[in-house]
Amino acid sequence: MEELTLTTPALLFSAISLIMLAYTNRFLAYAAVIRNLHDKYLEKMDESLIQQIKNLKLRLNLTRWMQILGISSLLLCVLTMFLIYIDYHVLAVWIFGVALVLLILSLALLVKEIQISIHALSLHLKDIESHLKKK
Mean pLDDT within 116-124: 81
Mean pLDDT within 58-81: 93
Nearest Cα to Cα of residue 127 among 27, 15, 18, 52: 52
Nearest Cα to Cα of residue 98 among 80, 82, 115, 86: 80
Q: How far apart are the first and last CA of the chain?
A: 67
Model's pTM, two decimal places?
0.79
Spatial separation of the C-alpha atoms in residues 91 and 60, rounded to whole Å: 34
What confidence score (pLDDT) does residue 4 get? 85
What confidence score (pLDDT) does residue 135 get? 67
Judged against a pLDDT cut of 90, whether residue 38 lies above it is answered with: no
What confidence score (pLDDT) does residue 29 get? 85
Alpha helices in the chain, H assignment, sequence order = 7-43, 47-85, 89-134
